[in-house]
A and B are shown apart, each in its own frame.
Chain A
Amino acid sequence: GAGVSQSPRYKVAKRGQDVALRCDPISGHVSLFWYQQALGQGPEFLTYFQNEAQLDKSGLPSDRFFAERPEGSVSTLKIQRTQQEDSAVYLCASSPEGRGLGTGELFFGEGSRLTVL
């Protein structure tokens, strides 16, 4: 399909395990974002890439969280030593624009639902 694709859709991890979540943005989209959405809350900003450059990682909650987009396309969000409070839906979004243009339309994937037991 032509939309943002995320995998896995569902992930159950035992506390302490490492997980990796993948995002395939819409082809050609310059900007890529990761958000974390807890139940009943709005999406919380985690990090932003413009092409392969990670321009903002101010939302990453701890050094256990790491994101990369090495070739400016696919991105991976890695969470090390998962904790129960990491349980949430992780949303990836892409936009055809880089910063400075800002029409504000993000195209979201369906998310990866992480449950840490």
Chain B
Amino acid sequence: DTEVTQTPKHLVMGMTNKKSLKCEQHMGHRAMYWYKQKAKKPPELMFVYSYEKLSINESVPSRFSPECPNSSLLNLHLHALQPEDSALYLCASSQEYRGDGETQYFGPGTRLLVL
């Protein structure tokens, strides 16, 4: 099973709301990722967790707050977002975070609209 699940599928929020995106995998992977994808663009890396510790933060604004409660679960907490944050948010996982051609498996994404 190479499935990464994400909830919710769609989310509409106001600029003052607080919401969370959830990602789950049961492949025993120890690396998990958040990407942001705007329409007709490639995914942009936001965060990498390796063994439940934040390894990479690609200078993401603090209104995005990641959390990795355990090795199977990854959350992205959202607060005070801007309309330009509207995008498809993709979660991915891989066996580990290392440079030997690890395959990243992507979830279906959460389509976020900020009003």
A and B found bound together: no
Q: Name A residues whose Cβ lies closer than 8 Å to a Cβ of B.
A: none
